[in-house]
């Protein structure tokens, strides 16, 4: 049986979207079944429309499936992503996590492989704290955090052993570079490899 991978993330203006799409490509390349699901937007309309790029992203995502708790239940590997908001995950991402109580109560969040990805304006703007916020919740799930560490030489290039992170720039217009793309591929393939070995 192929490994089931759920990529669950929030993106307001596209950085996490690009990261999630790369993870999807890398995971699918291993033969895994993949569900890429963005977290439902819950911000007030006026807030969304106050930023053109945010409103455009919401419109572009209108027909894409949103994440449901059932997607986590389905998966063997869960890749969780949120932009940094003041060093933490977004409220939209947290709102999704807060819907997982029933699955948690049934023990259905446990024993899966989890890894995180994030993006912030600046490299020291809270990427590691955001990833640790994600992993703190995974600890409550009884999940298995498969952080990338420095398990491949390419991790010395992107430099984040906690997960994968991207500095998206002041106008959120810095594209993913080769080192981030390689780190995203590594995050996905390593999580799938560990899940495959656990299943065996
Ligand atoms: C309310 C708010 C808070 C933010 N807080 C931080 C922060 O603490 N550190 C940082 O570097 N960037 C911060 N950012 C910038 C975003 O994390 C960054 O633009 C991110 O790449 C956006 O991802 P997205 O395009 O997927 O929405 C913040 C942005 C907003 C709107």
Report pLDDT digits (tens) over 80-118. 999 999 999 999 999 999 999 999 999 999 999 999 999
pLDDT in tens, 7-16: 999 999 999 9
- The residue behind tokens 């203006």 is 13
Distance 171 CA to ligand 1 centre (A): 10
Q: Show the CA angle centred on residue 6, arms to residues 36 and 155, nearest 5°.
A: 95
Mutate to test the pocket of ligand 1, among 21, 85, 89, 173 (most ligand atoms within 8 A of CB): 85
pLDDT at res. 123: 93
CB 117 within 8 A of CB 9: yes
Q: Which atom of ligand 1 is nearest to the CA of 10?
A: 26
Residues contacting 55, CB < 8 A, separation 6+: 48, 49
- The residue behind tokens 């455009």 is 56
What does R_g of the chain's alpha carbons equal in angstroms? 16
Distance 132 CA to ligand 1 centre (A): 16
Distance 83 CA to ligand 1 centre (A): 6
How far, in Å, CA of 145 to CA of 148, rounded?
Answer: 9
Domains defined along the chain, listed by start: 4-199 (3.40.50.360)
pLDDT at res. 23: 98
CB 131 within 8 A of CB 118: yes
pLDDT at res. 171: 87
């Amino acid at each position: 049986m192929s490994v089931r991978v759920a990529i669950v993330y929030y993106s307001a203006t596209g950085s996490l979207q690009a990261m999630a799409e790369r993870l999807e490509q890398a995971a699918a390349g291993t033969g895994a079944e993949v569900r890429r699901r963005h977290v439902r937007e819950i911000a007030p309309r006026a807030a969304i429309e106050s930023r053109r790029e945010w409103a455009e992203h919401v419109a572009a995502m209108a027909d894409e499936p949103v994440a449901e708790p059932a997607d986590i239940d389905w998966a063997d590997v869960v890749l969780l992503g949120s932009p940094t908001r003041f060093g933490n995950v977004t409220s939209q991402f947290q709102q999704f996590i807060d819907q997982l109580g029933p699955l948690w109560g049934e023990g259905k969040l446990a024993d899966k492989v989890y890894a995180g990805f994030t993006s912030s304006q600046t490299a020291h703007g809270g990427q590691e704290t955001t990833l640790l916020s994600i992993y703190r919740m995974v600890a409550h799930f009884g999940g298995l955090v498969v952080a990338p560490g420095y398990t491949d030489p390419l991790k010395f290039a992107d430099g984040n052993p906690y997960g994968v992170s991207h500095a998206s720039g002041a106008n959120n217009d810095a594209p993913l570079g080769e080192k981030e793309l390689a780190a995203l591929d590594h995050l996905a393939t390593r999580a799938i490899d560990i899940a495959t070995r656990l299943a065996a």
